[in-house]
Amino acid sequence: MTFAGINYLAVLVAAAASFGCGAAWYGALGKQWMAAAGVTEADLSTGKSIYLVAAACQLIMAFMLAGVIGHLGRAGIANALITAAFLWVGFVVTSMTVNHRFQGKGWSLTVIDGGYWLTALLIQGAIIGGIGV
């Protein structure tokens, strides 16, 4: 079940797992995240469409991670985890840090969100590396 070297099953499982991780992460840190982001529960009552956007973004992220891992030609769990961590350091946390500083947000928001995205990418990497690109 591959296309251009990407295993769709691995991508779907990775996306679902990282989405579930987000539910657990922000379920546990929701109040701290709301305080750091400066939002209230009323601000978040945008309906269920936000979860569809989040799920779609997780799917895109997992697909791109699988593509990068496959392109590097170094599959396996260890290499997938290293790739995920490198992408997080090089692109995710750096972008978030710049955005949060210009938005006037505190470091606690960056730590909460950055910690989640590192965890999500590592979960995706482990699954994609374990199942195969």
| Residue ranges per structural domain of the chain | 2-131
Q: Left if phi > 0, otherwise alpha if psi is -120 to 50, otherwise beta: which for 46? A: alpha
Q: Give the pLDDT mean for 34-51.
A: 86
Radius of gyration (Cα) for the chain, nearest Å? 16
Q: What is the pLDDT of residue 5?
A: 75
Q: What is the pLDDT of residue 3?
A: 58
Tokens 């992408």 belong to residue: 87
Higher per-residue confidence, 13 vs 48: 13
Whether the predicted pLDDT of 69 surpasses 80: yes
Cβ distance 112 to 27 under 8 Å? no
Token digits of residue 98:
């710049």
Of 45, 53, 125, nearest to 83 by C-alpha is 125
pTM: 0.93
> How do residues 78-124 score in pLDDT, each as one tens digit?
999 999 999 999 999 999 999 999 999 999 999 999 999 999 999 99
